[in-house]
Amino acid sequence: MKIFYGITKWLFILCLPMLLFSASIGGAANCAALYRHGFDKYEVGQTTGLSDAELDKAAGGLIGYFNSGEETISLTVMKDGQSFTLFNDKEVAHLKDVKTLFWLDYWIFLGTLVYALVYASFSIWRKEWRRLAHGLVWGSGLTLGLMLLLGIGAMLNFDQLFLQFHLLSFTNELWQLDPSKDYLIMLFPRGFWYDATVFIAIATTVGAVVMGGVGGITYSSAGRSRG
């Protein structure tokens, strides 16, 4: 039984970075304000020729698509008084792959959340406060260490990090788009993805700090009550 408890504890610790990171990715993917910030910062309206209203429509359409049961996206916008389909066949196929990744992220979040809640509930039921707190502190430390590595990698060579992500995540070359004609890469230039990575890392770090703080306070309180 001691081995079983040890395994469940370490699974809990390993779950926490995945829980926080997947939550941050999902939050970024569904954050219209992040899209708008990128559009403004990188002057996407000037690059694409789309008005702010049409850019917001594109962002809303993408967010809706990522959370829908639709297999492919069909998004029509207005430019110079003419309506047209925003994404071509290659972009639509790539967005289908991207949606698959987002849904994988959602499932990882759900799975780790369920395990973390079950473990925490069981620990509280058994009044094993220090054991639970220890797991929270270790999970927080592991998360902070991983975010530090991500931050260093992004600062030293974000382009290489971004390239390796695509090579590992996609089994095709649909992500290799032309910035002179493909609206998807015009909407989301390289700088947007750097900012999104920073956003995700900061959100995950904040979550880890809060979690570690709760764990530390709980550990100290449990120690005093035992004393």
Residue 14 is predicted with a pLDDT of 97
The residue-averaged pLDDT of 151-177 equals 96
* pLDDT per position as a tens digit, 112-158: 999 999 999 999 999 999 999 999 999 999 999 999 999 999 999 99
* pLDDT per position as a tens digit, 46-75: 999 999 999 999 999 999 999 999 999 999
Q: Looking at the predicted structure, is the pLDDT value of residue 224 above 70? A: no
Model confidence, pTM: 0.94
The residue-averaged pLDDT of 12-38 equals 98
Kindly give, in sequence order, each residue whose CB lies less than 8 Å from that of residue 109, ignoring residues fewer than 6 positions away: 19, 22, 23, 26
Q: Looking at the predicted structure, is the pLDDT value of residue 227 above 60? A: no
**C-alpha–C-alpha distance, residues 14 and 51, integer Å:** 45
**C-alpha–C-alpha distance, residues 189 and 17, integer Å:** 28
Tokens for 15? 């779950």
Q: Looking at the predicted structure, is the pLDDT value of residue 3 above 90? A: no
Residue 6 is predicted with a pLDDT of 85
Residue 19 is predicted with a pLDDT of 98
Residue 226 is predicted with a pLDDT of 59
The residue-averaged pLDDT of 76-96 equals 96
Q: Which of 99, 22, 94 is nearest to 68 (CA)?
A: 99
**C-alpha–C-alpha distance, residues 109 and 190, integer Å:** 26
**C-alpha–C-alpha distance, residues 149 and 11, integer Å:** 21
**C-alpha–C-alpha distance, residues 190 and 155, integer Å:** 14
pLDDT band at 219 (very low <50, low <70, confident <90, very high): confident
Residue 2 is predicted with a pLDDT of 78
Q: What is the largest CA-CA distance in the chain?
A: 75
Q: What beta strand segments (E) does the chain contain?
A: 76-79, 82-85
Task: Spell out a b/e string for 4-28, using b for 16 or more CB atoms within 10 Å of the CB, else e.
Answer: eeeebbeebbebbbbbbbbbbbbeb
**C-alpha–C-alpha distance, residues 21 and 14, integer Å:** 12
The residue-averaged pLDDT of 187-193 equals 97
Mean pLDDT for all residues in the chain: 95
**C-alpha–C-alpha distance, residues 37 and 32, integer Å:** 9
The length of the chain, given as a count of residues: 227
Residue 66 is predicted with a pLDDT of 98
Helices (H), 126-189: 129-169, 183-187
Q: Residue 183's CB: how many other CB atoms inside 10 A?
A: 24
Residue 5 is predicted with a pLDDT of 80
Tokens for 184? 């998807």
Residue 163 is predicted with a pLDDT of 96
Identity of the residue numbered 57: K
Q: Which of 219, 212, 207, 12 is nearest to 121 (CA)?
A: 12
